[in-house]
Amino acid sequence: MFVGHYSVAFAAKSERNKIPLWVLFIAVQFLDYIWATLVLLGIEKLRVIKGFTAGSMLDSYFHPYSHSLVTAIAWSALAALLYKMICSQHGGLYRKYAALTVGVAVFSHWALDLIAHPRDLPIYDDTWKVGFGLWNYRDPEFALEIALLACGIILYLSRNVMPLPKKVAAIIFGIVLTVIQIGDTYVPREALTDKATAMGVWIFYTLFVVVAFFLEKIGNRRQVNAS
Ligand SMILES: [Zn+2]
């Protein structure tokens, strides 16, 4: 699962919880940030094999710290606590259930990976591996990613009050993510090394976080001026 993860970030954002969209963009990929970091450190293991599955070249054969069910729950709880702590230090930002929402957003990564991944997600440590393997079916997996993303953005647009330029920007962002997913799924390319892939994860995911940050800035100044 790739851009489909961001559906949860878009869907989770509401007027009530006031969680910044960029925070949710980190949350839904939090496990992959840990994974990419551990791959770069040589602690978790990844093979990049052309045609490994129809929809992905990633054979992530050892990732017990970032992608086991038990550690996924632990990272989710940690992220929720961290969010609450940071918010309380910056008084007034925190809304009820926001930490829980952040925790659920982090855990959603594992749940969505479970659908796409071949049987490589351990329940704990490196054992009892599960995965429904939708990556073996390229078109349905692609369709699911885009359908999820579209639903997420529709929820984002309907649950949050925003000026028209911001709505348009959110839709354009969705289209850009779709194009990136088309590139990832359908455009043939050579397999990168494990480290280069992990670097790519860091760079692309962080780029999306930056875009989410600026997306939410659109129209803010005008609202301030108008008030
Ligand atoms: Zn993952």
pLDDT digits (tens, 9 = 90+) for 105-123: 999 999 999 999 999 999 9
The rounded Å distance from CA 2 to ligand 1 centre is 8
The verdict on residue 221 lying in a domain is: no
* Residue 96 burial (10 A CB sphere; 0-12, 13-18, 19+): exposed
According to the model, what pLDDT value does residue 187 have?
Answer: 93
Task: Tell me the three state secondary structure of residue 58.
Answer: strand
According to the model, what pLDDT value does residue 92 have?
Answer: 62
* Rounded CA separation 110/100 (Å): 16
According to the model, what pLDDT value does residue 88 have?
Answer: 85
What pLDDT tens digit does each residue of the chain (227 aa) get? 999 999 999 999 999 999 999 999 999 999 999 999 999 999 999 999 998 899 999 989 999 999 999 999 999 999 999 999 998 887 666 777 899 999 999 999 999 999 999 999 999 999 999 999 999 999 999 999 999 999 999 999 999 999 999 999 999 999 999 999 999 999 988 999 999 999 999 999 999 999 999 999 998 765 544 44
Who surrounds ion ligand 1 at CB < 5 A?
32, 113
Name the CA radius of gyration of the chain, rounded.
18
The rounded Å distance from CA 114 to ligand 1 centre is 9
The rounded Å distance from CA 199 to ligand 1 centre is 14
According to the model, what pLDDT value does residue 89 have?
Answer: 85
What's this model's pTM, rounded to 2 decimal places?
0.94
According to the model, what pLDDT value does residue 222 have?
Answer: 53
| Phi, psi (rounded to 5 degrees) for 220 | -65, -45
Domain count, the chain: 1
* Rounded CA separation 206/167 (Å): 22
The verdict on residue 183 lying in a domain is: yes
| Phi, psi (rounded to 5 degrees) for 195 | -65, -40
> Which residues constitute the domain of residue 61?
5-215
According to the model, what pLDDT value does residue 90 have?
Answer: 79
The verdict on residue 9 lying in a domain is: yes
The verdict on residue 227 lying in a domain is: no
Beta-strand pair 45-48/58-62: antiparallel
Query: What's the 3-state SS for 149-190?
Result: HHHHHHHHHHHCCCCHHHHHHHHHHHHHHHHHHHHHHHCCCC
The verdict on residue 32 lying in a domain is: yes
The verdict on residue 163 lying in a domain is: yes
The verdict on residue 125 lying in a domain is: yes
